[in-house]
Amino acid sequence: MAIKRVLKEFLLPVLIIIILAGSNLSCQSAAEKKADLVIAGKIFTGLNSLPFVEALAVNGDKIQATGTRQEINKYIGPQTRIIELKEGVAIPGLIDAHTHFSSGGKSLIELSFRGIDSIEKVQQMIAARIKELPAGSPVFGRDYDHTLFPGQEWPHRTDLDKVAPENPVVIRRVDGHSAWINSLALKLSGIDRNTSNPFGGEIVRDKTTGEPTGILKESAMNLIKIKPSVKSSPEEDILRALDHARQLGLTGVHASTDLKELEIYKRLKKDGKLTLRIYAWLPIEEMDQCLKLGIKQGQGDEFLKIGFLKAFIDGTLGSGTALMFEPFADAPNQSGLPQYSEQEFYELIDQAYAHGFQVGTHAIGDKGVNWVLNAIEKAQKKHGQKNLRYRIEHAQIIKPEDIKRFKELRVIASMQPTHCTTDMRFCEQRIGSERSKYAYAWRSLLDAGASLAFGSDWPVEPLDPRRGLYSAVTRKNIEHDYPDGGWFPEQRLSLAEAIQCFTSGSAYASFEEKLKGTLEPGKLADLTVFGQDIFSHEPKEILTVPVIYTIVGGKIVYQSERS
């Protein structure tokens, strides 16, 4: 017993010393772990408490440390790559909260009429395309905008017939909510004066003859039976979109998809071909199938995650189909096209809420936004408050009294700043000056405590996030730089706020604010790096400041030749 006591008294202190020494070595090892990447220069963290730091260290796919250059120097080792920002600035990786990603990829190879300001120019482009195609081939195009044409009048099927009498022509409007087709396309689709308007859609007709004019709005586009002539697989479209996005500095997108397309994303992820993070939203029409398959929001990982269910309540301002309380100023007999009856929509949202699905609803008109808020409020009262972070996609026109309800109901305003600077050309003409005060009301929403997430709605608008930043801080038309001071300038944001809407705001909208959206230790090392300091330049220069690095999970997925 005496021997055991002696051994115990001798060995226990020795054992404690060994344990403490090992612990100390472990701490020392962690403290001296060298970074894979260090960025030094001006770095915007996105944090209100510490907006800027001088340097940042990355280890693996996470941010290891931020601070002064001196503080970060200790993380630099022989294998550390160092990016020295002489004139540029690094910001949290930009996340586009609303894209039709594969459609955007396809749009890069389609005939686009974006910015074309006359019917004559459209005709010339169609005639040129017909010469490239086999006889009788259909001609598909996109992005025409009749508000750019002289007089802003809707075009007519006969305008297309003049250059394409023997080729069916289908052109989608820039907002994707109406189409302009020629007489042959109408005939082949079986659309004539006796065809009834489908629910939620309109076949625009000649007021005298009753014949279709060639303009089909909303669900009426589903009557078109012409198949596209440009052949491109969904996978090719997505790969094309990925390449485009990384050159623009995007590290993540919230992307429209379906169950079939979701499998493509899974395969690309497995093959290591995803160069940004995907928050994939699905059509609400697939809710029952999702339930059968056990698919729920949040499933997946940091690169590919199931997002919300997407619903539509109305159309768009440009097509005159947004759901409004009062008629359009320039069309007193019209106030929009609801895609559901009010009660049907409330029941749809109730079902989704009961099953725990996040829902993002396309709502542009003030009545459409109101219906969505009502539906969410009813579901919350019936089923109790859940952390589902419901979203209103676009939320373009809002009744003043509904602005505060975004915070009260914890509804995210998922908005696209370039919609403002495009639609401002005709917004007041369409809804008048008073209602326009609460159009694209970013400042009012932010000041009321609402959460904002910014995106582009690509391919409705270009994917380039610099256009969104510029629009948010100026509210000026990009192409023509007007009006002086901005359109309803009281709704402008600061550049820091605009970036936060594209970063931490988008991260919050996908339940990922603890993973990304700001630059701080422990978060994913996703960064967008500009070659010039956008904080010290005139707003107009934001549009042309080069992206020199796109970094996703510590890996450089894009590096410009200028870097």
DSSP state letters, 229-281: SS---HHHHHHHHHHHHHHTTEEEEEEE--HHHHHHHHHHHHTT---SEEEEE
Q: 551 φ, ψ to 5°?
A: -120, 125
Closest CA to 304 of 337, 269, 267: 269
Domain ranges of the chain: 96-100+280-516, 110-223
Q: Does domain 96-100+280-516 have CATH number 3.20.20.140?
A: yes
Cα–Cα dist 106/245, whole Å:
13
Q: For residue 561, what pLDDT is reported?
A: 86
DSSP state letters, 166-190: SS-EEEEETTSSEEEE-HHHHHHTT
Closest CA to 173 of 317, 283, 42: 317
Q: Give mean pLDDT, residues 149-165.
A: 96
Point out which residues pair with 57 in neighbouring strands. Answer: 38, 65
Confidence of residue 285 (pLDDT cuts 50, 70, 90): very high
Helices 234-247 and 259-270 cross at an angle (nearest 10°) of 60
Q: Kind of pairing, strands 81-92 and 527-530?
A: antiparallel
Q: For residue 32, what pLDDT is reported?
A: 66
Q: For residue 232, what pLDDT is reported?
A: 87
- 149 to 13, 152, 185, 457: CA distances (angstroms): 89, 5, 23, 23
Q: With residue 384 as reference, give the H or E element that holds it.
A: none
Q: For residue 31, what pLDDT is reported?
A: 52
CA-based radius of gyration for the chain = 27
Mean pLDDT score across all residues of the chain? 94
Query: What digits encode the pLDDT tens for the residues 364-398?
Result: 999 999 999 999 999 999 999 999 999 999 999 99
Strand order in the sheet with 451-454: 94-99, 250-256, 277-283, 304-312, 359-363, 391-394, 412-415, 451-454
**Residues above pLDDT 90, as percent of the chain:** 93
Domain 110-223: which CATH class? alpha beta
Q: Kind of pairing, strands 52-59 and 62-67?
A: antiparallel
pLDDT exceeds 70 at position 529: yes
Write the CB contacts of 246 (distance below 8 Å, at least 6 apart in sequence): 275, 276, 550, 552, 557, 558
pLDDT exceeds 60 at position 21: no
First to last CA, the chain: 74
- 56 to 32, 78, 91, 251, 514: CA distances (angstroms): 15, 17, 11, 18, 18
Query: What digits encode the pLDDT tens for the residues 490-502?
Result: 999 999 999 999 9
Q: Kind of pairing, strands 169-173 and 178-181?
A: antiparallel
Q: For residue 14, what pLDDT is reported?
A: 43
Helices 366-383 and 342-354 cross at an angle (nearest 10°) of 40
Q: Give mean pLDDT, residues 155-166.
A: 97
Query: What digits encode the pLDDT tens for the residues 237-269?
Result: 999 999 999 999 999 999 999 999 999 999 999
| C-beta of residue 192 within 8 angstroms of C-beta of residue 186 | yes
Q: Give mean pLDDT, residues 147-151.
A: 94
Cα–Cα dist 208/162, whole Å:
22
Question: How many CA atoms, within 13 angstroms, populate the side-chain half-sphere of residue 139?
Answer: 32
Cα 555 to chain centroid distance, Å, stands at 23
CB neighbourhood size of 248 (10 A):
20
* Identical fold between 96-100+280-516 and 110-223: no
Cα–Cα dist 239/247, whole Å:
13
Ramachandran assignment for 152, one of left (phi > 0), alpha (psi -120 to 50 degrees), beta (any other): left
Cα torsion at 514, 516, 517, 522 (round to 10°)?
80
CB neighbourhood size of 75 (10 A):
23
Q: For residue 242, what pLDDT is reported?
A: 98
pLDDT exceeds 60 at position 10: no
Q: For residue 30, what pLDDT is reported?
A: 47
Cα–Cα dist 259/319, whole Å:
29
Cα–Cα dist 543/471, whole Å:
10
Q: For residue 26, what pLDDT is reported?
A: 39
pLDDT exceeds 60 at position 13: no
Query: What digits encode the pLDDT tens for the residues 319-366?
Result: 999 999 999 999 999 999 999 999 999 999 999 999 999 999 999 999
pLDDT exceeds 70 at position 201: yes
Cα–Cα dist 45/10, whole Å:
53
Name the residue with higher pLDDT: 229 or 223. Answer: 223
Confidence of residue 451 (pLDDT cuts 50, 70, 90): very high
pLDDT exceeds 90 at position 552: yes
